[in-house]
C-alpha cells in the first residue's frame, strides 16, 4: 500500500549530531552547522523515495546550561532552512532538552520519555504527522538511537560514516 491508500506517511527518523551534522560537541552556534558528507543528498533521496524526514535529537546542552532552548530552536531552524536550500526537506524536528543531571531544574528529569533511548519523540512524531511506523525506520549513530528505534517498534540503522547519501542509497537498495 502506498501513502494514498493508507492516508499515512512512511518516515525516516534521523538523529542530528553525528548523522546529519558533524558532532562537534554540543553544536548550537551558526558556525557549528557543518553537514556530514552527503547529508543534503541523503535527505533528497529519502524525500524522492516517499519518506518524510523527521529529526529526533537529544539536546542535553540546554539542561547543562550550555545554551538556551531558544538557541537550540534557532540552530535547528537554520539546519532545516539550509537543507531546504540544498534540496532536502525536513518535515519536523523533535528535540529533547531534558537530562537527569541538569543544572537548570526546569530541564531536570530522571528519565524523560522523549530522551533517547526512550521512544517518546518518535511516537509523538508518528501521532502528530500521521506516520506509519510499519513503513518507517531510524538512522542514528549511537546505541541509544538503536534502542529508541527498537522501543518504538521500528528498524534502526547505525550510521558510522563517512557519507550519509551512500549509506541511505545502500539502505534503499540503490
Where b means 16+ CB within 10 Å and e means fewer, 3-27 reads: eeeeebbbbbbbbbbbbbbbbeebb
Q: Where are the domains of the chain?
A: 17-141+149-172
In 10 A of CB 80, how many CB atoms? 19
Report pLDDT for 174.
79
Report pLDDT for 121.
98
- Kindly report the CATH class assigned to 17-141+149-172: alpha beta
Report pLDDT for 142.
98
Q: Check: pTM over 0.85? Answer yes or no.
A: yes
Annotated catalytic residues are 15, 17
DSSP-assigned letters across all residues of the chain: --HHHHS-B-EEEE-TBTTTB---SS--SGGG--BPTTHHHHHHHHHHTT-EEEEEEE-HHHHTTSS-HHHHHHHHHHHHHHHHHTT----EEEEE--BTT-SSGGGB-SS-TTSTTS-HHHHHHHHHTTB-GGG-EEEESSHHHHHHHHHHTS-EEE--SS-HHHHHHHHHT-
Low-confidence stretches of the chain (pLDDT < 50) are 1-4
Task: Answer yes or no: are the C-beta atoms of 26 and 63 closer than 8 Å.
Answer: no
Amino acid at each position: 500500500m502506498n501513502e494514498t491508500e493508507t492516508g499515512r506517511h512512511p518516515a525516516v527518523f534521523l538523529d542530528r549530531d553525528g548523522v546529519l551534522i558533524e558532532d562537534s560537541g554540543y553544536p548550537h552556534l551558526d558556525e557549528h552547522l557543518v553537514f556530514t558528507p552527503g547529508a543534503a543528498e541523503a535527505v533528497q533521496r529519502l524525500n524522492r523515495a516517499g519518506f518524510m524526514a523527521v529529526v529526533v535529537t537529544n539536546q542535553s546542552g540546554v539542561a547543562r546550561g550550555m545554551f538556551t532552548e531558544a538557541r537550540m530552536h534557532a540552530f535547528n531552524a537554520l539546519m532545516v532552512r539550509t537543507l531546504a536550500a540544498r534540496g532536502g526537506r525536513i518535515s519536523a524536528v523533535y528535540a529533547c532538552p531534558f537530562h537527569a543531571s541538569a543544572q537548570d531544574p526546569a530541564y531536570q528529569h530522571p528519565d524523560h520519555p522523549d530522551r533517547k533511548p526512550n521512544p517518546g519523540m518518535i511516537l509523538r512524531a508518528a501521532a502528530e504527522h500521521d506516520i506509519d511506523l510499519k513503513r518507517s525506520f531510524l538512522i542514528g549513530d549511537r546505541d541509544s538511537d538503536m534502542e529508541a528505534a527498537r522501543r518504538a517498534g521500528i528498524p534502526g540503522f547505525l550510521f558510522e560514516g563517512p557519507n550519509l547519501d551512500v549509506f541511505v542509497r545502500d539502505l534503499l537498495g540503490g
